[in-house]
A and B are shown apart, each in its own frame.
Chain A
Amino acid sequence: MKLIGLIVVIATGLLLLWGVTDFPDWADPQSPASTHLSPHFLTESIEETAVPNVVTSVLGDYRGFDTMLETTVVFAAGIAVYTLLRRSRRKDLREKPEMIEEELPHQALIVKTICRLMAPFMQLYALYVIAHGHHSPGGGFQGGVILGASFILLAIGFDLKMVLKRMREKTTLVLGILGVLIFSGIGMVCVLLEKNFLDYSALSAILPATDIIMARSHGILGVEIGVALAVMANLVLIYVNLSSDGKYERGL
């Protein structure tokens, strides 16, 4: 079995190596990937959407459908982990590790203090990454992951109960749903304003003092906030359920 696997892997590798001979050289400015669609994004992004960070404008505007469905995938994964692990009544064949006695408070004092000090700064930085994604590297996905990581850091440094007290299960679920709803809701508002789904230029009719171009910039910001909420809530949901096996008792 292992030998067959090795043969298949090496055959695949050789096929790929053979295919690579036709590929463009590394960092070639004239490679096919860089000469068809991407020059349009690079030259028109500022004029069409007023967003200098082209990655953000492509993510939120030009490829809005893709991003919306990726957010939905993250949400669906969070819900899948939740339904698989939470409150199962099936019999359990696992060998349970022995519970370790709660350590004395002074033993983890340094870890706890540093985690407590780090968390607010991480969350502040995450908000900066989300809000400043138009002008610097950042955006909804990155900021959402940093926000989720701040909660996971607290769950590791303290225990799961401390996080669940601040970020209840219901809140996490509602935030995850709200994130996807914000994204698709902004798309629906565009339809109600008689433009295409996710065509943010329609938003200039309801946002004060915005022309068509700035409306697209603001639309991207709204969408990024939705993405950040969904990613943060679902990462926390996945971590909390996986680390405590859906029982929400102690965690790692």
Chain B
Amino acid sequence: MEKLKISPENITKDLLPQAFGKRGMIWTASLLVLCGIGLFAYIRQLTYGLEVTAMRDYVSWGIYISNFVFFVAISLVGSLITAVFRLADVHWSTPLTRIAEIIAVSAIVFASIIIIVDMGRPERFWYLMVYGRVQSPIMWDVIVIATYFVISLLLLYLPLLPDLKILLKAKGEGVNKFQKMYRFMGSFWKGLALQEKINNKAVTILCITIIPVAFSIHTVTSWLFATTYRPGWDSTNFGAYFISGAFLVGAGGVVVAMYVFRKAYKLEKYITEMHFDKMGKIVVLLALLYLYFNINEYLVPAFKMKKPEEAHLNQLFAGEFAPLFWFAICVGMLIPIAIMLFKKGRKPIPMFIAGVMVVVGAWFKRYLIVTPTLLHPFLPMYNVPQSYHHYFPSWEEWAIAIGSLAGALLVITFFARVFPIIPIHETITEQHENAE
């Protein structure tokens, strides 16, 4: 981390949670409205059943599952920024760790919610628990998501303990009303040497544990597809392909969040251009890696052009899904690479634009992984209504999907309102160590 030359008092003052300003209120209200519309659409789905969606016999996984895969993907960033960098003793990422962790937690929460939405009747989730088969990858996914959620929560909570002590002592509009919560969560933290030792050890254990669990969560998600014999999914490449894509979208999400928090909370002294520069290099590396897997995933089947895969690939490359496919490839990978490959492109504003492109491209990429395959089964579709040959989500599906994305952003927003989004204690400690 760069030498900050800021007094601990000023760091604390700068990084304490702040009350929402006018823009913050509008932002939160907008998210609440989107969540409300999503909730209304979900109530309609509960009332009338999955019939309100555009999903039918063939496209039984629509944007709900695309959204689920997107959420699981973006949640992986917690393990990358926090665990991998911490274990590699990379200190410049300290201001980004909590951003990454809250993105991970909020994304994994909404991944779980959206999968229940996709089930139609929510009690089916209970049946999954009671009657679930351990042979099913869906069961593995449920187990691994629950595990990853708990680990991510612990990884968010344990490094927060020293900051809770600071928050308890702090006075101000931003923290006063949450004192009871801070007391409940961390009044026992006294900063004792033994406490610090146990905490540091626990965080290290968590960092080691979260990496295989994070790899499992997205590998298992990829197996939901790859264990099914269908064009476009019948691939041994899927685990690595999904993981690389997940790291890319997660890193892109962190870049966007970095820029927004930096701007909203005036954190220029803490999230510096150096952070954008380094994150830019990481995103380029991840984008190139994901591009490599994409080439493998599409070029090899296209070279062989097996008959059952032909319709699916043609639809992607030059058919109905071609605009979306090339949009996802260009906007999600090629253009961000072109922007961030150069130093000027790794400045905050171009980085923010590239980060948004990566995230948007990644969402549509998940849609392209899920839907076109379902429209091209190995056995041709005969004697089915014309509507079964196409899929375009109903307004209820859009509302629920957008509502879930808004919900994830709302969790992050509320977290940043209540807790410091950059670790205060760690920043002070690292500055002190740097000064020495």
Q: Do A and B bind each other?
A: no
